[in-house]
Chains A and B, each alone.
Chain A
Amino acid sequence: MTSREDTAPFRTFILKVANRCNIDCDYCYVFNSKDQSWRHLPVRLGVDVAREAGRRIGEHATTHGLPAVHVVLHGGEPLLAGRRQVAELIEAVRAGVPAEVKVRFELQTNGTLLTKAWLDLFEKHGVVVGVSLDGPPTANDRHRLTHTGRSSSAAAVRGIELLRDRPHLFAGLLAVVDLANDPVEVHDFLASFEPPVIDFGFPHATHDDPPHRDNPDVPEYGLWMSRVYDAWLSRPEYRHSIRMLEDIVALSSGVRGAVETLGLAPPTSIVIESDGTMEGVDTLRSVEEGASRLGLDVFQHSFDEASRHPKLLHRADGMAALATKCQSCPLVEVCGGGYLPHRFSAAHGYRNPSVYCADLEYLIRHVQDSLRASGWDAHAPAGQAP
C-alpha cells in the first residue's frame, strides 16, 4: 500500500470541456485510437461537473498546501463548448478553490475557431492558449484535415496570428513529428510565430503497433529531432524554448522535474472527463480500450483517492517500474524509460523500453555532446565559479 506521503500531489487538472472536434487528425488519441470511449461520453462538460471538480481541486490543494494549481481546458476541441459555457466552467472551477490558491488556466486548441471575442474572454479570465500545429501547410495537411478532408492550416494560422496580438496569452505551439516533413522547415515555420515555447511529440505507438519507419535500423526520430536542435541553436534571433530539448538539457544537468514524457519525476496531472470520471494518463487511450480508466469520479471520490489508485502506482515506483534494460542504462535519468504509452506491449505491459528507445538515445547523446563542446562541465557545481 502506498501512503499519501509517498505519492506526489496532483498539480495539473485537465478538464475535457468538449468531447468532439471540428477537425479529424488521423493520429488523435481521443478519437482515432484503440479506445473509443468518447462515443459514450457527454459532448460537453457541464457546469455541475466543473463545480464539483473545482471543489475537489480546492480540497486537494488545501490538503497538500499547494500555493497554485494548473487547470487545462482540453478536448476534443474546447472552443466547441462555446464562449458562454467556457466562461461558466472557469467561474465554477475558480469558485471551488480557496482564494489564496492561485489557479492558472490554460486552453489547448487547434486554433481554427479562435476569434477576437474568444481572446477577450481569455483576457478577462487570465487563460493562456496553446495551439496544435505540425508545421507549414504541406506538413500540417498530412494529418490535420477537416472531417471532409480539407486543409485546416489556413484557419489555424489565422487563429495563431490573432493570438500573436496578445503575446501575454500565447502559451506556445505543440507539434507531432512526421518523418516525411523537413525538420528545419518545420522548426523555422513554427518559430516564425514567435511562441514562447514549442514542443514536439512523437506519434503515439506501442510495441504491438510500432511507429512508421523508413529504415528500422536507423534512429530516424532521434535524427529528426537532432536536426531541430541544431536549427534551434542556429537561430538566436528567436527566443523560444523547445520543451523536449530543453528538458534533455535540464535532466542532464541534475534537474528532476520534466514533462511526463521524459525523466523519472512522477506525473502530477490528472484528467477529468466530460462526465466527471477521472483518468490518469489519457494518452493511454492509444494503448487499448479502457487503459486510462480509473473507475473514479469527482462526485464520489477525492483526488487523493485517485493518487493511490493501483493504475497510478507507477508514478511512485519510478525506476523500479521500468524494464530491466532501462534500469541499468546510463541515460535512464534523462529519458525516464520513455513515455508510458510508448512502452506498452500486450505481452509485458509497460515493462519494456520505449519504442523510441534508440531515437531517445541518439538525441540525448547528440544534445549532451553539443553541450560538452560548448563548455558545459560535469565538475562545476551549481552556484560556484568554475
Chain B
Amino acid sequence: MSSRTPLLMPPTCPESIQGNAVLERIAARVQQRLDEEKSTADGIAEGPHAASLIWPWWF
C-alpha cells in the first residue's frame, strides 16, 4: 500500500471556503471519506468498477 502525502486538505471549517456551496459539500464528503478510511480496520482502499455508481464508502 502506498503511503499518501496529500497535496491539499479540505478546510476543517466549511465557512472558510470562499463562498462556494458546491465546494463546501465536496469538502464535507471528502472529510467523511478520510475519516472512514482511517477507521476501517483493514485499511484497504477500494477501486470500484467504472460502469456502476454505488460508492462502497457510502455503505
Chain A residues in the interface with B (C-beta under 8 A)? 8-9, 11-12, 14, 67-68, 70, 72, 74, 102, 104, 106, 108, 128, 130, 171-172, 174, 197, 199, 201, 232-233, 235-236, 239, 241, 243, 246, 249-250, 252-261, 263-269, 283, 318-319, 333-334, 339, 368, 371-386
Contact = CB atoms under 8 A, between A and B. Distances in A.
Interface of B: 1-2, 4-13, 16-18, 20-23, 25-27, 29-31, 33-35, 37, 44-57, 59
Contact of B52 (A12, A232, A261): A12
25 contacts: A72-B49, A102-B59, A130-B53, A201-B51, A236-B20, A239-B25, A246-B29, A250-B29, A250-B30, A252-B8, A257-B45, A257-B57, A260-B48, A260-B50, A263-B47, A266-B46, A266-B47, A269-B47, A283-B51, A319-B2, A368-B7, A373-B18, A376-B8, A377-B9, A380-B11
B6 A254 contact: yes
Contacts of B27: 376
B48 A11 contact: yes
Given A258-B45, A263-B47, 4 more contacts: A233-B22, A257-B47, A259-B48, A269-B52
A249 B26 contact: yes
Chain B contact surface mostly: loop
Contacts, number: 195
Contacts of B45: 255-258, 263, 265-266
Contacts of A241: 26, 29
Contacts of B52: 12, 14, 70, 72, 74, 106, 108, 130, 171, 269
A102 B50 CA distance: 21
Contacts of B46: 8, 11, 257, 265-266, 268
A72 B26 CA distance: 26
Given A12-B48, A257-B37, A283-B51, A264 B8 contact: no
A382 B9 contact: yes
B8 A253 contact: yes
